[in-house]
Structure 1
Amino acid sequence: MRIATFPRAHHSAARPSLFTGPKCAVAVPVHDALHLDTLLQASLTPSVRTIGYRTGPQVECPPVSLAGVVLHMDDGRFLLRIGERPQRDPGEDARLAHVLACHGLRLLERRAADVQREPVFSNARAVWAHAGRQVSLMDRLRIGMALDEYGPQPIAELERRICPGRDVLAAVCALACENLLRLDIETAALGARTLVFGS
């Protein structure tokens, strides 16, 4: 699993970095930090099944590119647009929706303020800071059995059950990045009270 890294400013013309993870159908090009944060959050969102990428086409009327990140969610496939929403009148919205529907898509527009909403913004970054961390087979089994037996529970309770003194927070974050369990990153800052759910 590889998270995008960004080149220094004087290399800004370099090719985009790539984001990959268990939900990614392909390696997804990432052009800036806001796009990366959006993908980190999408990868941890239960309603997002897969993250894909389209290369086109460019439609002339209305003028819109159908290239970009596609989120396959519980309620459909969405072409993701990040940034300030362009001004469109109702007729333009209807034409755009029709063109997207012809390609089996709907539009999901997220402003910078949506992506940077707390606590999700900081929590997703904190979880992904543990991506690739080695979690032993025994710890994976202990965590899985505790969740199967007792259901969703706070990290502190999970730690008490499986083995006090272990860094359970780091372990569950790493497993969340592997899409093997879910964390409640919406309610409060990541910590001992964060709820852990089985996959």
Structure 2
Amino acid sequence: MKTAFPLTLAIAIGSATAFAPSQKAFVASSTSLAAENTRKEFLTQAALLTGGFLFSPSQAMAAKYGSFGAGSPEVLDPTTAEIDTDILASSAVQGALKKVEGYRSIVKDMQKALESDGQANLRPIIIKNLDFAKIRDTMNTLNTAFEEDTQRGTDRLIRVILQDITELEQANLQKDGIPRSPRRLENLQGKLVKLDLAFEDYLAFAK
């Protein structure tokens, strides 16, 4: 009879333990819930950031051309550009505008040349028609039609264009007797696309 009570107590404790919530299960459940909440927060923040980026032209341009933060005076959104219409209408600036449009046409001609012949040597065209000094002077003349804050942005675009021309010339280099590989052709075509877009972005300020 003395052993009955301890045995009964052991059975009771065992039963209580069996029906008690598992501490490990509770911890796992809490961890899972926290992870799910963190994921939801991340997705929400990502959606907000993406939405803000998609609906902010100046931020999109900044991502393309450099560190122009929100509220920066170095505006790269053509819709907010300040233009002196009298200066823009002057013969000197209109002449510069036509030359810049001509530079972009030359880029498109080179794109067509590569489409026809992937081994085409673009260097003679670059040297003859995309002279650094002339392009800089021409675009600086066109820049005089923009107000000071807008010029800070267009000045940056001018530097981008000159850099793109340098990269284009380097990408065109090819040893004599060695055909241009598909990879090098793709790289060269990419440089032309980049330069064309840079001219397009710059010309958008004069429209």
TM-score (norm 1): 0.26
Give the structure with the larger strand fraction. Answer: 1
Q: TM-score, normalised by structure 2?
A: 0.25
